[in-house]
């Protein structure tokens, strides 16, 4: 355990206070959008004299990050940035995140902390299985594990059978992946006839918390492994901003890098610890892209009682839902608003009828052997389509290609009759899980 | 050991320090860097009670010391070696050192104080050679040694050092810094140091804070600050002019 993880709480809070003040001093002078936001509520950095004063600051949303494309959110000159990531937001401008050398070092330090809290050491053989859309997380995990001296097998696009072969033949001791892929991989494993005794796997680290606790326990017993979760958002501090300890009583937040709050998603009011609401974070150590009260859109609860493992910082419960119409598929965030816009534009190309209303569609997340696959069920009505079937098929194929380009994930377009969707739409369901 | 929260210090109605928060842990060397007029010296003077007009909180070993008289603060274990040395020029080296132990004079402490003289002479052999000399006739480096020695005579647990390298030849600076490291490593003395020579002090300190117009704008381990582009540009002499702006 790192010293900071078991530092007395008052020491931690003093550190947070100092870091918050210096971050605000920097962003107020350097990031016009933050300055404007602070001026709009009549706040200067001087007004923040306690951690509670953070509640006076305005929120930052993903929309703000998109609006300040490309470099409007940067608090350092471009030449101090050594790495840029763009987070695709579908058809709007992407979110651009930059990192200074120090930011990269902090991210790596935090990733190492997650790995070692999960029990990874220099003796481990770490295999990373993530989708191509998650390359930058995979990259950071790889760098961190390498820095710890572990042997790393980074993800490469390959068939599941190849991955299983590596798992067995290379004696992987730690597997890092997402829950749905993990279940898929292990279902394949069971069918492949590989003897479990040949497996050297000790632990599986999941980058989401969507695996049901009971399923988790079952799998842990069956395969004699530990399954631990880490949680992160793409916009802040690293692949993982909260991680489980061996006690598994929620996820330990990296309190030396961020200040967490939970708010009522409708009113924006701050909720006391223990109540469920939307997670809001303020970064403390990020130099290039500091986030001030960033609304993550994730629904959770903060547990402020210290954990029995000895770490004093607060914990968060696994995320149980979202507020912002973001759908997480294989670790990628897909915004329904963006899909709306995508479909509307697509329709425009098929039909010249400009007065066309929004076309009903439903997004279906289908689990095929545990692996999530995305489908769009689009209602084809006479209003806008009177052409030939080959034309429709071509259009659907184009839409599939464009979707993959825009969102980084393949998606099947299924033409359906309106009546098929009606039952879902009546219930207000936009996303269905099959 | 030392915790400062939201310190605001004023000279008349002008705010010199604004909402300044920092902490120093036992056994650390923490440095403050910043341009002239940023408020570094004011901060040290506020801690040791020399600047009265302040709001906020200064906790030393969990006790509030804001508003206490300087002599009380010295007795609590905070020593201050001021900027520009400020030795008592007409007095001898020995007398200067004795004054540093002023609050400890008494029968019982006599042998202890004697021991402290030896300790300081061991650290700065030069002072031993000049112990009978009038302080005003010492060289700049020697006066600096004397100022540090005098602060040490008060047996502080936390030493505030203000610009120990000011106006000294590089060779002498090296000697002074060496002594500071020795004090920290061998005796476990906690040190809060203000220094213009950012490059050198960041090699020695554990952590640092960067002050700009009375506000802390950056902090981190010495390594982080050394590698930081803002610090490099502003304090380590790597200017924008030396690189092509992207």
Q: In tens digits, what is the pLDDT along chain A, a chain of 434 residues?
A: 888 888 888 889 999 999 999 999 999 989 999 999 999 999 999 899 999 999 999 999 988 999 998 899 999 988 899 999 888 777 788 899 999 999 999 999 999 999 999 999 999 999 999 877 778 889 999 999 999 999 999 988 888 889 999 999 999 999 999 888 888 888 888 888 888 778 899 999 999 887 888 888 888 988 889 999 999 988 888 899 999 998 888 999 999 999 999 999 999 999 999 999 999 999 999 999 999 999 999 999 999 998 999 898 899 999 888 887 778 787 777 888 788 888 888 877 776 665 566 678 888 988 887 788 899 998 887 766 667 788 888 888 999 999 888 888 889 999 888 888 888 888 878 888 87
Q: Which residue from A minimizes the CA distance to B55? A: A49
Q: Give the B window 45-104 contacts with A, CB below 8 Å.
A: none
Q: Give the A window 268-307 contacts with B, CB below 8 Å.
A: 287
- The fraction of chain B above a pLDDT of 90, given in percent, is 26
Close Cβ partners of A35 (under 8 Å, ≥ 6 residues apart)? A27, A28, A29
Q: Which H helix or E strand runs over A267?
A: none
C-alpha A361/C-alpha A380 separation (Å) is 9
According to DSSP, the β-strands at A125-128 and A258-263 are unpaired
- Say what angle helices B110-123 and B170-187 make with each other, to 10 degrees: 130
According to DSSP, the β-strands at A276-283 and A258-263 are antiparallel
pLDDT (0 to 100) of residue B245: 41
Q: Coil, strand or helix: which one is A102?
A: helix
CB-CB neighbors (< 8 A) of B5 in chain A: 14, 17, 49
Q: Which residue from B minimizes the CA distance to A106? A: B224
Res B236 pLDDT > 90: no
Q: Cα distance from B220 to chain A (closest Cα, Å)?
A: 9
Q: Are A314 and A302 in contact (CB under 8 A)?
A: yes
pLDDT (0 to 100) of residue B244: 37
Q: How far is CA A95 from CA A71, A154, A176, A407, B2, in A?
A: 9, 25, 26, 13, 41
pLDDT (0 to 100) of residue B108: 65
Hunting for tokens 């071509």 — which residue is that?
A394
Q: Are A355 and A392 in contact (CB under 8 A)?
A: no
pLDDT (0 to 100) of residue B166: 84
B169-177 long-range Cβ contacts below 8 angstroms, 24+ apart? B169/B141, B172/B139, B172/B140, B172/B141, B172/B144, B173/B197, B173/B200, B175/B141, B176/B141, B176/B144, B176/B145, B176/B148, B177/B201, B177/B204
Of B5, B217, B245, the CB nearest to A17: B5
C-alpha A410/C-alpha A400 separation (Å) is 7
Is A79 in contact with B245 (Cβ distance < 8 A)?
A: yes
Of A18, A26, A79, the CB nearest to B21: A18
Please tell me if residue B232 touches chain A, with a CB cutoff of 8 Å.
Answer: no
A43-51 long-range Cβ contacts below 8 angstroms, 24+ apart? A45/A21, A45/B19, A45/B215, A46/B18, A46/B19, A48/A20, A48/A21, A48/A24, A48/B19, A49/B5, A49/B6, A49/B19, A50/A17, A50/B6, A51/A13, A51/A16, A51/A17, A51/A20, A51/A259
CB-CB neighbors (< 8 A) of B243 in chain A: 79
Peptide bond into A99 cis (omega under 30): no
pLDDT (0 to 100) of residue A45: 92
DSSP letter assigned to residue B156: -
According to DSSP, the β-strands at A242-244 and A251-253 are antiparallel
Q: What is the residue-averaged pLDDT of chain B? A: 86
Q: Supply angle C-alpha A390, A391, A392, rounded to 5.
A: 90
Close Cβ partners of B137 (under 8 Å, ≥ 6 residues apart)? none
Close Cβ partners of A77 (under 8 Å, ≥ 6 residues apart)? B229, B245, B246
Q: Coil, strand or helix: which one is B160?
A: strand
Backbone dihedral angles phi then psi of residue A378, each to the nearest 5 degrees: -105, 130
pLDDT in tens, B79-125: 998 888 788 989 988 888 888 888 776 666 777 788 888 888 888 88
Q: A406 — alpha (psi -120 to 50), left (phi > 0) or beta?
A: alpha
């Amino acid at each position: 355990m790192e010293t900071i993880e078991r530092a007395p709480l008052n020491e931690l809070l003093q550190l947070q206070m100092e870091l918050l003040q210096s971050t605000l001093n920097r962003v107020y002078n350097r990031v016009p959008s933050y300055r404007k936001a602070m001026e709009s509520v009549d706040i200067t950095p001087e007004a923040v004299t306690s951690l509670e004063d953070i509640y006076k600051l305005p929120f930052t949303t993903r929309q703000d990050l998109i609006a300040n494309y490309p470099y409007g959110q940067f608090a350092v000159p471009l030449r101090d940035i050594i790495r840029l990531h763009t987070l695709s937001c579908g058809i709007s401008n992407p979110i651009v995140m930059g990192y200074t050398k120090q930011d990269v070092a902090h991210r790596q330090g935090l990733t190492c902390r997650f790995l070692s809290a999960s029990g990874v050491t220099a003796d481990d053989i770490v295999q990373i299985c993530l989708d191509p859309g998650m390359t930058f997380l995979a990259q950071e995990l790889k760098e961190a594990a390498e820095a710890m001296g572990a042997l790393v097998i980074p993800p490469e696009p390959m068939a599941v059978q190849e991955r299983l072969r590596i798992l067995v033949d290379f004696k992987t001791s730690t597997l890092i992946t997402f829950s749905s892929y993990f279940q898929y991989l292990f279902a394949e494993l069971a069918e492949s006839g590989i003897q479990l005794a040949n497996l050297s796997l000790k632990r599986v680290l999941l980058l989401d918390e969507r695996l049901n606790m009971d399923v988790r326990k079952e799998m842990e017993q069956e395969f004699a492994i530990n399954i631990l979760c880490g949680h992160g958002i793409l916009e802040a501090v690293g692949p993982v901003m909260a991680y489980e300890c061996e006690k598994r009583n929620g996820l330990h937040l990296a309190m030396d890098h961020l200040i967490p709050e939970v708010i009522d998603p409708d009113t924006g009011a701050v909720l006391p610890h223990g109540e469920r609401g939307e997670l809001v974070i303020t970064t403390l150590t990020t130099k290039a892209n500091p986030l001030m009260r960033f609304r993550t859109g994730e629904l959770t609860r903060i547990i402020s009682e210290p954990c029995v493992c000895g770490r004093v910082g607060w914990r968060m419960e696994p995320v149980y839902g979202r507020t912002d119409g973001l759908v997480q598929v294989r670790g990628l965030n897909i915004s329904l608003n963006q899909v709306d816009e995508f479909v509307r534009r697509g329709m425009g190309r098929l039909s010249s009828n400009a007065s066309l209303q929004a076309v009903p569609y439903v997004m279906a997340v289908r689990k095929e052997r545990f692996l999530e696959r995305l489908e769009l069920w689009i209602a084809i009505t006479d209003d806008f389509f009177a052409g030939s079937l080959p034309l429709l098929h071509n259009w659907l194929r184009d839409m599939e290609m464009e979707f993959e380009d825009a969102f980084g994930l393949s998606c099947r377009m299924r033409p359906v009759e309106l009546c098929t969707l009606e039952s879902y739409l009546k219930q207000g369901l936009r996303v269905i899980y099959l | 050991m030392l915790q400062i929260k939201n310190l605001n210090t004023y000279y008349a109605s002008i705010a010199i320090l604004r909402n300044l928060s920092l902490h120093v842990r036992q056994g650390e060397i923490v440095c403050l860097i910043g341009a002239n007029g940023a408020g570094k010296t004011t901060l040290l003077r506020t801690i040791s009670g020399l600047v009265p007009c302040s709001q906020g909180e200064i906790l030393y070993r969990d006790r509030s010391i804001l508003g206490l008289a300087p002599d009380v603060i010295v007795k609590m274990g905070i020593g201050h070696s001021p900027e520009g040395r400020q030795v008592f020029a007409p007095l001898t080296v020995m007398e200067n050192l004795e004054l540093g132990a002023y609050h400890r004079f008494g029968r019982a402490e006599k042998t202890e104080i004697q021991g402290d003289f030896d300790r300081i002479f061991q650290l700065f052999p030069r002072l031993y050679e000049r112990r009978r000399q009038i302080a005003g006739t010492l060289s700049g480096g020697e006066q600096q040694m004397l100022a540090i020695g005098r602060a040490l005579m008060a047996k502080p647990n936390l030493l505030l050092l203000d610009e120990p390298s000011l106006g000294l030849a590089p060779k002498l600076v090296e000697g002074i810094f060496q002594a500071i490291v020795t004090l920290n490593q061998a005796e476990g003395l906690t040190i809060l140091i203000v220094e213009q020579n950012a490059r050198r002090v960041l090699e020695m300190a554990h952590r640092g804070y960067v002050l700009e117009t009375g506000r802390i704008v950056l902090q981190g381990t010495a390594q982080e600050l050394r590698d930081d582009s803002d610090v490099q540009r502003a304090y380590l002499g790597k200017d924008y002019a030396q690189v092509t702006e992207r």
